[in-house]
Amino acid sequence: MKLISLIFGLFLFFKISWLHQNKPLEESIADGAGIYQDFCVQCHLDSGEGVSGVFPPLAASDYLLNNIDLSIKGIKYGLNGPIKVNGETYDGVMQNQGLEEEEIADVMNYILNSWNNSSEQVITLQRVSQIQE
Ligand code: HEC
């Protein structure tokens, strides 16, 4: 009996902490919008259009939409060296923006679902945590 309540208690604990970490997608996108304005808009601009040849676009970006894990990695640890975005080569430097893992999940959900971008994938805190340098 004790064992059962222990197992049940553990289950409840993990269930609650899971719920706590993963807010609904709409809320994550809304929080991500604020983070985007604070940390990303100066380079990738208001509509995610970027600046051709200097700051790659996020709107309709084949790099972002096809390389979600690499994009998370770039936001988490920084990104430099040549990459191709929609056929154009960029060879710039994006610093690590110093975001918390939850903020990275939120901003990813925002950019994956803005400016006509859409993604089946919901980015969770767990996914961001698992991505290593
Ligand atoms: C100081 C300018 C700057 C800021 C601020 C910045 N980026 Fe970037 N970003 C870049 C550059 C430059 C690259 C390309 C790096 C390269 O050439 O390897 C890039 C690449 C990317 C890419 C992959 C390429 C693409 O266009 O799909 C993503 C995704 C991205 N940035 C998202 C973000 C997000 C989200 C933020 C805010 C948290 C952000 N960036 C903040 C300059 C910036």
Q: What is the number of the ligand 1 atom nearest to the C-alpha of 39?
A: 37
- Helix, strand and coil content of the chain, in percent to the nearest 5, comes to 55, 10, 35
- As a residue count, the chain comes to 133
Q: Where are the domains of the chain?
A: 24-130
What is the CA(124)–ligand 1 centre distance, in A? Answer: 20
Structure tokens of 84? 């191709």
Measured from the Cβ of residue 54, the count of other Cβ atoms closer than 10 Å reads: 9
Mean pLDDT by 10 residues, the chain (133 residues): 66 57 90 98 98 98 98 98 98 96 98 97 97 95
pLDDT of residue 2: 73
CA 98 vs CA 25, 35, 40, 74, 89: distances in Å: 22, 11, 12, 11, 26
Biggest CA–CA distance in the chain, Å, is 66
Residue nearest to atom 2 of ligand 1 (CA): 43
pLDDT of residue 15: 58
pLDDT of residue 19: 55
Measured from the Cβ of residue 13, the count of other Cβ atoms closer than 10 Å reads: 10
Query: What is the amino acid identity at position 12?
Result: L
Q: Which of 60, 84, 59 is nearest to 70 (CA)?
A: 84
Pocket of ligand 1 (CB under 6 A): 39-40, 42-44, 55-58, 61, 63-64, 71, 74-75, 79-81, 83, 85, 90-94, 97, 99, 107, 111
Q: Tell which CATH classification among 1.10.10.10, 3.60.10.10, 3.40.50.150, 1.10.760.10 matches the domain 24-130.
A: 1.10.760.10
pLDDT of residue 4: 66
pLDDT of residue 13: 59
Residue nearest to atom 43 of ligand 1 (CA): 94
Residue 40 near residue 106 (C-beta atoms within 8 A): no
